[in-house]
Amino acid sequence: MAKEELIWPDASKGTPPKMEAGPPREEKKSAYQGRMHLLQKEMIGRYYERLTAAAEGKGDKAVYMMISGNPVELIQAFDLLPVYPEVNALQLAVKKQCLPYILQAEEMGYSIDNCAYVKADVGMYFGGRKTPFATIPKPDFILCNYVGCNVYLQWFEHLAEYSGAPIYNLDIPFSRTASGAPTAEDLRYVVKQLEEVIEICERMTGKKLDYAKLQRIVALSGETGELWSEIKKLTRRRPAPFDAYFDSVTMMAPLYCLRGTEDGLLFFQEAYREMKEKADQGEGPLPEEKFRFVIEGPPPWPYLRTFRDMFSRWGAVAVASTYSTVGGLWEFGFRHDPQRPLESIAEHMLTWNLTNRNFLQRYQQIKEYMEAWDADALVIHSVKSCRLFSAGQGDMREYFTKDLGIPTLLIESDIEDPRYFAEAQLRNRVDAFFESLEHKKLLAQQKGRGGNHP
């Protein structure tokens, strides 16, 4: 194997000659570039500068946390720096830097079958923590917000052993009652733990929690959530003003890294203005919106553009995505509440995010998207690394196709490991799916016009 191949496998290798059938091949760049995008770049750039400064000993103390339903508001209230290994791992994939780190972790004893986010992060940790986007600081405190994903527990336990940093498992009872709502005891348990986290932060920083400041931060999160929710509702329109999968990820970085800050709010005010404008003018991310689909599962970060183009060429736009709700389910009504900051942070962690909800609640969420966002089809992107998302998606497909009669495509690759992205195979599956969807649409139109009757 050539050295280059080892660093980055060529996903298109072995791609068969392009077939003549299918939509016209206008390989237009479909990614959205606008004010929002530039602002995101600038703000996230500043966030990464803070990380580098912390790594060089000139910045704030670093608190490692996970993305799904986290108490970043508390961390912001102590002026501590939130660091997200998931975000760093995905950036390594986007920048096509992750594979050597994954291989390094596998040499250390991690299995080929372990989550590649963890492996990329561990490899990077031992590889000097210097990335093209920032130098990642070592943790001063590891706050494992165990929200659904069991790998989180492993990941942070490992980082704690490697770094020697203090660790606290913030245990969030999983959604498991008949109504889906957390019990009163669950809420009490989480609030009590948040109070313990406050004590740890007070010891770390040597200052008492400023309750009024926490309320202001929680209010900022509340307003941010409101805007994000409104933005997501815009894709109910025809055409959808942006792609709720591929463009949502642009907005997810500020939502996670900057939530609870003035910058974060500013970003969402700008994003809402811009998206609303586009919606009002009837503009979408593609020249023509031919298909509206809902997508379930995380994206293949190492080949995001390639993957996006597989749908764009069919005029297919994602109008809703489950992935964009990993960190919170604002579009279904959640708002942080400054009048009850700890309780609302606890509710966010317990029930208002995708990962702490059970699999059947996810079926329900997708069903709501299909109906309220008026979609033609469901695409399930099954990733090997994240079994929280993927384990059992065959049953999900069964439910949507057999019980609900919704055209559903199930495809597999990975969120982080480029070795699992088989471009030719994926393209064939996507093409076949939309071809048949197009055919069905045509038949339905003919039927509508009475074309079937002689």
Partner 1 sequence: MSAPAIQETGSLAALLDFCREVTQDTEFGEAKRWLEKHPGRKAFGCFPIYTPLELIHAAGMLPVGVFGGGNQIEIAHADSRFQSFVCSIVKSTLELGLTRRLEFLSGMVFHSICDPARNLASVFQRNFPEMQIEYIHFPQNFQSPECVVYLESEYRRVLHGLEQLAGHQVTAEDLNHSIALHNRIRAALRDLYRIRAESPHLLSAAETWLLMRVGTLSAPEEHLQLLEQALTEIPRRATRPKDRIRVILEGSFCEQPPLGLIECLEEAGCYILHDDFLQGGRWFTGDVPLEDNPLRALAESYANRSVYSGVKHDLRERKAEHLIRSMRETKADAVIFLAAKFCEPALFDYALYRRAFDQNNIPHLLVEFEEKAWMHDRARSEVETFVESLLFD
Q: Return residues touching partner 1 (CB under 8 A).
A: 105, 108-111, 113-115, 118, 146, 148-151, 153-154, 157-158, 160-161, 167-171, 173-174, 176-177, 183, 185-186, 189, 192-193, 196, 358-360, 363, 382, 384, 386-388, 390-395, 398-399, 412
Nearer to partner 1 among residue 169 and residue 215 (C-beta): 169
Which residue lies nearer to partner 1 by CB, 214 or 410? 410
Using an 8 Å Cβ cutoff, are 55 and 128 in contact?
A: no
User: What gap in Å lies between CA 409 and CA 380, rounded to an integer?
Assistant: 6
**Residue 243 CB neighbour total at 10 angstroms:** 27
Nearest to 85 by CA among 110, 98, 103, 67: 67
Q: Which of 279, 338, 300 is nearest to 98 (CA)?
A: 300
CB nearer to partner 1: give 123 or 254: 123
Closer residue to partner 1, CB minimum distance, 182 or 239: 182
By C-beta, is 220 or 380 nearer to partner 1?
380
Question: Residue 379 Cβ, how far from partner 1 at the closest point, in Å?
Answer: 16
Of 257 and 370, which has the nearer Cβ to partner 1? 370
Nearer to partner 1, 21 or 178 (CB): 178
Residue 357 Cβ vs partner 1, minimum distance, rounded to whole Å: 10
| Ramachandran region, residue 315 (left: φ > 0; alpha: ψ -120 to 50; beta: rest) | left
Name the minimum Å distance from CB 193 to partner 1: 6
Q: 23: buried, middle or exposed (CB in 10 Å: 19+, 13-18, 0-12)?
A: middle
| Number of neighbouring beta carbons within 10 Å of residue 156 | 25
Identify which of residues 245 and 420 has a Cβ nearer to partner 1 in the complex: 420
Hunting for tokens 């497909």 — which residue is that?
397
Residue (105 or 409) nearer to partner 1, CB? 105
Provide, rounded to whole angstroms, the least separation between the CB of residue 269 and partner 1.
Answer: 36
**Residue partners of 400: CB distance under 8 A and separation at least 6:** 363, 366, 378, 406, 408
* Residue position matching structure tokens 């749908």: 311
Shortest distance (Å) from residue 275 CB to partner 1: 33
What is the smallest separation between the CB atom of 388 and partner 1, expressed in angstroms?
A: 4
**Of 219 and 422, which has the nearer Cβ to partner 1?**
422
Distance CA 392, CA 143 (A): 29
**Other CB atoms within 10 A of residue 285 CB:** 21
Q: How far is the CB of 199 from partner 1 (least distance, A)?
A: 11
Q: In whole angstroms, how close is the CB of 118 to partner 1 at the nearest point?
A: 8
Q: What minimum distance in Å lies between the beta carbon of 160 and partner 1?
A: 7
Taking phi over 0 as left and psi of -120 to 50 as alpha, with beta for the rest, 203 belongs to: alpha
Closer residue to partner 1, CB minimum distance, 244 or 410: 410
What's 130's DSSP letter? B
Return the C-alpha torsion angle 327, 332, 336, 339, nearest 10.
-160
**Do you know the residue count of the chain?**
454
Are β-strands 291-296 and 408-413 bridged in parallel, bridged antiparallel, or unpaired?
unpaired
Q: How far is the CB of 329 from partner 1 (least distance, A)?
A: 17
DSSP state of 20: S
Q: Count CB-CB contacts under 10 A for residue 357.
A: 23
In the three-class reduction of DSSP (H, G, I as helix; E, B as strand; rest coil), residue 320 is classed as: strand
Q: 89, 168, 184, 175: which is closest to 133 by C-alpha?
A: 89
Query: Are the C-beta atoms of 370 and 378 separated by less than 8 Å?
Result: yes
- Is the bond into 239 cis (omega within 30 degrees of 0)? yes
Least separation in angstroms between CB 389 and partner 1: 8
Whether 193 and 171 have beta carbons less than 8 Å apart is answered as: yes
